[in-house]
Amino acid sequence: MSKIIDFQTDPSKYRHWRLEFDGEVANLYMDVDEKGGLFEGYELKLNSYDLGVDIELADIVQRLRFEHPEIKAVVLQSGKDRVFCAGANIRMLGGATHDHKVNFCKFTNETRNTFEAAAADSGQFYICAVKGTCAGGGYELALACNHIMLTDDSSSSVALPEVPLLAVLPGTGGLTRVTDKRKVRRDLADVFCSIEEGVKGKRAKEWRLVDELVANSRFDETVQEQAREFAKLSSRPSDAKGIELKPLDRTFADDGSVLYSTVEVSVDRKARRATIAISGPGAAAPESMDAFQAQGSDAYMLRLARELDDAILHLRFNETELGLLLFETQGDPELLKAHENLLLVNSEHWLANEVLHHWKRVLKRIDMTSRSLAALVEHGSCYVGVLAELLFAVDRSYMMEGDFDGDNRAIAAITLSQSNFCRYPMGNDLTRLETRFLGEPEKVAEAKARIGEALDACEAAEMGLVTYAYDDVDWEDEVRIFMEERASFSPDAMTGMEANLRFAGPETMETRIFGRLTAWQNWIFQRPNAVGENGALRRYGSGVRGTYDMRRV
């Protein structure tokens, strides 16, 4: 799969989903175009999906938050008869490269998390209305909703049949959400995940696999009634006007670099490195949220979040041999501080809330990216507030100390804001500073006492906010040695090491999902039992079951 995958789309380009609006309720229909696969070699039958289907879903979820503040409940349902969703397309999985499969599973789960958290973050509830077969990744779509309704007929069912059919696992959170979110009894979960046909009717309700069982004759009516009841719980404003998420301003160059309005991605293929350079705001912050909203998706804080998110996804899927992502910033720290502060002061405004939560999701996307991450705090940088979070998200950070010969930029500094202590938690429900100083909680308090101060390299290093600080004599050599060393390590070892080190502290359902996803998918998707010539994924649909190496490892 060598084609460039583009994560930007809009409603005029949707092939697999359609939206209908009814006051405070949006009806979201999954109606996958069989001929609309992202790649050749498979058809998306039975509402099965590939990455292209999920790219559209991610776009829809984002637009519902920003363009439709009046929507308080979303009903996720099928646009086809007798099938809800058959899950990820098996032919696609069988023919995809390993890195694409794993990245696909990760993106799919990030999308699930986005609408799973929409109720708590945005007051937007997701109700899943299941008619027909709801299997594998289809049931994982349902599991991420706030409420699952199943029609009571002779054929509609929920299932996680990956183990008996495909020799793989429900790797985008299925098993974890069954036990941790829905709290299905362990032995019943074992039965459920071991049978091909799934579970129907009263048993599905009794086992807590669904929340509500509804007579088929009243299903559609009852679903809409339930959606309106959920809408009553929402705090979203009924009279607010949304903003349009306009296409990103970006240019792809022949050498692999990508230029956005606030982000520039430069590529060094020989060094297997990409540099992500972020530019601070070029103008003063809007004076009010009305002025911010008037700028729409061109407002700096929203534009930067969208561009950085797109850059990370592009690097994940299209530049898999670039093992090191290096973050840099340049700009006026005071300007950036003012732009973020407008949102923090007005965090109860629906749009400010959405932008801040979008930043939370972007930073989590960076946390979950399987690349070595590093940051350079150079003179003239603007690591303030939300951008300072990058320093605590990366694996290592390097900061310039003192004057550099011939460099007349402002001396490198880091400025913390209130947002670094509450606004952008990681998947473990701790802030990045709390995670960084898990064994030294007093360091977090010390850092909090310095909010608003421009901390130079000596202070930042002493406080533990950067890994190393180097002067003019050592800077270039030390940074070069680090980058060369990193590029020489095994990428498999790096993925395992970094994923383990980044998420210290308590486990949550989110960290368990991603931790298990990384381990399960990287291992099982390479095993011959699944993807070998005679593996279950390759033989699926042929009428011949997979041949297994029966040794337990």
Q: What is the pLDDT of residue 539?
A: 86
CA-based nearest residue to 513, from 161, 21, 46, 144:
144
Options 3.20.20.80, 2.60.40.1150, 3.40.630.40, 3.90.226.10; CATH of 11-231 = 3.90.226.10
Computed over its alpha carbons, how large is the radius of gyration of the chain?
24
Which letter does DSSP use for residue 462 in this model? H
Q: What is the pLDDT of residue 2?
A: 60
Checking DSSP bridges between strand 147-152 and strand 83-85, what pairing results, if any? unpaired
Checking DSSP bridges between strand 157-159 and strand 199-200, what pairing results, if any? antiparallel
The Cα 365–Cα 410 span in angstroms is 30
Q: Which residue has the tokens 């972020």?
A: 278
CA-based nearest residue to 398, from 420, 414, 416, 421:
414
* Buried b / exposed e along 132-152 (16+ C-beta atoms within 10 A): bbbbbbbbbbbbbbbbbbbbb
Domain boundaries, the chain: 11-231, 250-500
The Cα 276–Cα 72 span in angstroms is 36
Tell me whether domains 11-231 and 250-500 share a fold: yes
Judge contact between 285 and 352, C-beta under 8 A: no
Name the H helices within 48-131: 51-66, 90-95, 98-116, 118-122
Q: What is the pLDDT of residue 173?
A: 87
- The per-residue pLDDT string of the chain (553 residues; one tens digit each, 9 = 90 and over) reads 467 999 999 999 999 999 999 999 999 999 999 999 999 999 999 999 999 999 999 999 999 999 999 999 999 999 999 999 999 999 998 889 989 988 999 999 999 999 999 999 999 999 999 999 999 999 999 999 999 999 999 899 999 999 998 888 887 789 999 999 999 999 999 999 999 999 999 999 999 999 999 999 999 999 999 999 999 999 999 999 999 999 999 999 999 999 999 999 999 999 999 999 999 999 999 999 999 999 999 999 999 999 999 999 999 999 999 999 999 999 999 999 999 999 999 999 999 999 999 999 999 999 999 999 999 999 999 999 999 999 999 999 999 999 999 999 999 999 999 999 999 999 999 999 999 999 999 999 999 999 999 999 999 999 999 999 999 999 999 999 999 999 999 998 998 899 889 989 999 999 988 888 777 777 888 888 888 888 888 888 888 888 998 888 7
Q: What is the pLDDT of residue 1?
A: 42
What topology does CATH give the domain 250-500? 2-enoyl-CoA Hydratase; Chain A, domain 1 (3.90.226)
Q: What is the pLDDT of residue 519?
A: 75
Q: Which residue has the tokens 């946390």?
A: 367
- Using DSSP's 3-state secondary structure scheme, residue 264 falls into strand
What does the angle CA 318 – CA 319 – CA 325 come to, to the nearest 5 degrees?
130
Sequence length of the chain is 553
Amino acid at 428: N
The values of phi and psi at residue 17, to 5°, are -135, 155
